[in-house]
Amino acid sequence: MEWYFVGIGGALLTTFGFVPQIIKMHRTKSARDISPATLLQYSAGTVLWALYGYHIGDSIVIAANVISFIIMVVAIIQYNSYSRNRCA
């Protein structure tokens, strides 16, 4: 049962790991140091992990990665918005 909590802890840390970057982009209104490849790769990874979680029937894996994907969509929207502002 202890490993269950280790898994939850890891899921929480990785799920919300990109939130500080989103906050920084929002505060600075800049995405200058963000790689779009990283955003897309991480997003694709969360989709694959969620599919894997569905396949094995693990609700923690599914939930963590669906939430991660939503967070990454926010990051991609911010990236697109702030990158356009820089070029204007």
In the chain, domain spans: 2-87
Q: 64 pLDDT band (50/70/90 cuts)?
A: very high
User: What's the whole-number mean pLDDT along residues 4-11?
Assistant: 89
Q: CA 51, CA 46: separation in Å to the nearest integer?
A: 9
pTM of the prediction?
0.85
Q: 7 pLDDT band (50/70/90 cuts)?
A: confident
User: 2-87 architecture in CATH?
Assistant: Up-down Bundle (1.20)
